[in-house]
Amino acid sequence: MENLDVMVLRTLRDWRQAGRRALLTTVVRTWGSSPRPVGSIMALAEDGAVVGSVSGGCIEDDLIAHYSRAHGSGAMPTGAPALVKYGITADEAHRFGLPCGGTLELLLEYDPALAELDTLVSALGQGRMMQRAVALADGTARLSDAHAPAALRVSDTELVNTFGPEYRMLLIGAGQLAEYLATMAKFSGFAVTLCDPRAEYRSAWTLPGVTITTEMPDDAVTAFRPDHRSCVVGLTHDPKLDDLALLEALQTDAFYVGAIGSRRNAQARRERMIEHFDQTEESLARLRGPIGIYIGSKTPPEIAVSVMAEILAVKNAVQLPRETVVATAKALQESLA
């Protein structure tokens, strides 16, 4: 599954290309609790088709009722964008399924221009980060390259939203654990690439939608060009494959670099890198291992859940409690035994 924003924009582009009227909805402001964060987008076609979300479903139903032919209204307006609020009163919050005290404001753009949408989707498909500024007076939008993620901004005259390319994951080593982890990454919005030069391991791979490369792992990392929206995970347990790939990844802006293995294996890996590759504790500070959070996992699917949870926490800049760090948790258990 591709990144949700990209999927929404691509679907909206396709609708407009087919001549269908449609609107783009953006969460502009929230007060109190809200189901979706500021910047979330949803597209609605004139026949009631929806992609993306701005709430738990009730607001989407209201938008369908008001702005599509699904309920016989056919009432999608034209012209300048409109700002609408939901959940202003307790009754409204309850009716629209908003949390207690929750209010959100949406910007509705009617029939966004096809040419602009096509340019935006193409740029995102090329891995570029884009800023989209919408004039509130007439709905015209302008695009520019963005160099860093930014929160949505809105003023009296325009709304500016930044769309990044997909998050990407490079897995070193095919196998059962890799398939489970790739599956979770895909439904979390990551584009997944698998590297394994060993034909006997690749032959059992069954998961579709994953890019597969047979290069040596360090060459694969170089070709992958990890950026700040990328993670690299070693899963082979083979130093000849994992070590050089990890060292290459540590020279990039990847937000997560780590490898599977026990505490003993992780320590041995660090010692090898320091002894044979001129690394230091400082240069290896970003290297994660043992990877995952501690949930007592033993089976491949549970280990994949553990690893994916840690990757998402790092991606979302969440500081995990010390008790969830695998090495810390196991050491604590041993001290209490």
Tell me if residue 285 falls in helix, strand or coil: coil
Whether the Cβ atoms of residue 40 and residue 47 lie closer than 8 Å to each other: no
76 Cβ partners below 8 Å, 6+ apart? 21, 23, 46, 67, 68, 110
Task: Give the C-alpha separation, 277 to 300, whole Å.
Answer: 31
Our CA angle for 210, 182, 319, nearest 5°, is 135
> What is the rounded (10 degree) CA torsion for 267, 273, 279, 284?
-40
Task: Give the C-alpha separation, 191 to 289, whole Å.
Answer: 23
Chain Cα centroid distance, residue 38: 15
Packed helices 263-276 and 326-336: angle between N→C axes, nearest 10 degrees = 130
The count of residues in the chain is 337
What is the pLDDT at residue 301? 96
Q: Are strands 130-135 and 141-145 parallel, antiparallel or unpaired?
A: antiparallel
For the question of whether the overall pTM of this predicted structure is more than 0.85, the answer is no
pLDDT tens string, the chain, 337 residues long: the values are: 457 898 899 999 999 999 999 999 999 998 766 677 899 999 999 999 999 988 867 788 889 888 887 555 557 889 999 999 987 566 665 666 665 556 889 999 999 999 999 999 999 887 788 999 999 999 999 999 998 778 899 999 999 999 987 789 999 999 999 999 999 999 888 989 999 999 999 988 989 989 999 999 999 999 999 988 899 999 999 999 999 999 999 999 999 999 999 999 999 999 999 999 999 999 999 999 999 999 999 899 999 999 999 999 999 899 988 888 877 777 777 777 6
Domain segments of the chain: what residues? 4-163, 167-336
Q: Which of 275, 189, 195 is nearest to 233 (CA)?
A: 195
Q: Which of 212, 193, 187 is nearest to 1 (CA)?
A: 187
- Residue 67, token pair as written in the block: 């702005």
Chain Cα centroid distance, residue 221: 20
Task: Give the C-alpha separation, 331 to 19, whole Å.
Answer: 62
What is the pLDDT at residue 195? 97
CATH superfamily of 167-336: NAD(P)-binding Rossmann-like Domain (3.40.50.720)
Q: Which of 151, 131, 132 is nearest to 81 (CA)?
A: 132
Task: Give the C-alpha separation, 148 to 162, whole Å.
Answer: 9
160 Cβ partners below 8 Å, 6+ apart? 131, 132, 133, 134, 150, 152, 153, 154
Tell me if residue 171 falls in helix, strand or coil: strand
- Residue 300, token pair as written in the block: 């491949």
What is the pLDDT at residue 1? 47
- What element of type H or E holds 42? strand 41-45
Question: What would the pLDDT profile of 194-217 be if each residue is shown by its tens digit?
Answer: 999 999 999 889 899 899 999 999
